[in-house]
Structure formats: C-alpha cells, structure tokens
C-alpha cells in the first residue's frame, strides 16, 4: 500500500470542473489524452479525482505560464 502522509480528498466531476473551470467534456478528453489526472473508482457507479493530483495539474499550468512570461 502507498504511504500517504496527508489525508486524501476526493472530488466528484462537478467539483473538479468547478475548480478547474473546465467542462465535463473537456475533462474527459484531457483524461483520454493523458493530459489530466485519471479518476479513481470509489464504488461501482462512482469515480472521483484526487484533489491533490488536480491541484498539482493546476500548479503545472501556472508554472508553464510563468516560464513563458519570464
């Protein structure tokens, strides 16, 4: 099992879309293209995203923007 030093938080697709300002279709497409974190199956009928992974993806976007601006 993976050693987890911080508590995990799962976000449903609605929350993931709200936080990233992406549409559900854009999230699905980015996941399929390997450009966005994959969701985790948390039950038979539910998937969610690990909040820290989505926040890491967002931080990477900021780093890319700042590198171009510098």
Q: Is the pLDDT of residue 1 over 60?
A: no
Domain count, the chain: 1
Which CATH number do you get for residue 53?
1.10.10
Q: Does 2 fall in a domain?
A: no
Q: Does 4 fall in a domain?
A: no
What's the pLDDT tens digit per position in 10-54?
999 999 999 999 999 999 999 999 999 999 999 999 999 999 999
Q: How confident is the model at residue 6 (pLDDT cuts 50, 70, 90)?
A: confident
User: Taking phi first (over 0 means left), then psi (-120 to 50 degrees means alpha), and beta for anything else, what does residue 17 get?
Assistant: alpha
Q: Does 19 fall in a domain?
A: yes
Q: Does 1 fall in a domain?
A: no
Tell me which residue range forms the domain holding 40.
Answer: 10-69
Q: Does 33 fall in a domain?
A: yes
Only one residue has tokens 């508590």, namely 7
């Amino acid at each position: 099992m993976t050693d987890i030093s911080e508590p995990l938080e799962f976000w449903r697709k609605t929350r993931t879309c709200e936080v990233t300002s992406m549409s559900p279709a854009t999230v699905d497409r980015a996941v399929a293209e390997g450009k966005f974190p994959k969701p985790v199956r948390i039950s038979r009928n539910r998937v969610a995203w690990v909040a820290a992974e989505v926040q890491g993806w967002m931080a990477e976007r900021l780093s890319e923007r700042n590198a171009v601006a510098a």
